[in-house]
Structure 1
């Protein structure tokens, strides 16, 4: 069945191409930053338009009942689109690729629920302590700020270690559990570096963008998408150095399907009906 999305997930299954457990990739911070700015510079208007679209959709679905189900796919979309722009194959349609593998992306999003529960529990305990021990409100808010900062950094670190989960599930056909495990494995040597860069792009630059709301907020959001693409792209380039993502047009269809090719001899490849030759 044809798919109208030219960046639809490939049917090539790389889920059996699991990496050895000792493999981990070391990223360099300045290379992440320079690549992120390059991607933004080369795709300034599309990335800013995507950032504006993302903000609008998030604010719209957040107020409806199905928002909790849709938001993981929107978060995946920013990572997937950033990766595609890094690969010089950017298209705003990639923002919706997460919906193509709805269940696996939702499961990855649900993996964050225990972390959200922990944060909610901490704040519940703080409120209880305030009423039970009559703690001064200023001291309570200071304590809350300290705990929130610590928990926030831990949560950001976990996000950094899981940053590959969405593209592995969508573009490489891993199931949710394997995508999370492989992402954790591949980022073992770069977790702190990725965390610091996410802190820079998602907190510092966003804060500066808010201070200059009309001027800087949207570009800061576009830069955050580019940063995700830079991190994900460098990790996947190192993990699968012979893998290219190409778009293959069909003569008999108006749509295009994505094909992932790898030069390794044992990797299964996609064969279309038009390309099949029974005589070799």
Structure 2
């Protein structure tokens, strides 16, 4: 006998609903596919489990007895899977300031619906961490240079804002236009920053670039009045620094937020996390 788990779950669903159409909706498969699965089970067992007619589906005596055993087996299996699943962990890599409230909603929904926990891993280069398999999924802002074979899911776009030192002349202007950034020294996070000279055409790029290697270096360099910075607006809500001032930025292109993962890593957990992530990113 060759019986798979999908055969048993299909049989119990049809038996419970007494309907192929309702069972196919529950199992998210087509009705012809479900009928083939039940037929395979009966052929493999060499018994008739269901009596079918154009109006209803009933269990045979053998099918009713078989159902009792199958339900006990599936219940025991589901209990075992629940024990294991609650001990799992999905590692989410990020470089700075997880977007809110997306991150909180996604983690809460994933852990509540799935069971495993999310380990939040701060790293200067989430994509490099993904390549090294020290994280399972990476949150990336800006343009994505994903590893070969990786899959990218765009979530949404964040508006940008300018930031400068409290001693910077920019604080007196009230706002800054995207095309006027070229006239100011620009502090750039070369590893995980969302804005750099690559963000403008060659003839509109800032004349002076001050490079830093991570968010903290970038933050303190701007605070020291070495130049101005351009960041997603989340930084204004989440950054508490007495020496910084935020200035509205007009006509700036939005900054994309994406999730990147490798297709062969933690497939089921990543799929469930992506479902929660996309749902949290979708406006209600």
Q: Normalized per residue, which structure has more helix? A: 1
Do both share a fold (TM > 0.5)?
Answer: no
Bin of the TM-score, shorter chain as denominator length: under 0.3
TM-score, normalised on structure 1? 0.21
Q: With CA pairs under 8 Å and 6+ residues apart, which has the higher RCO, 1 or 2?
A: 1
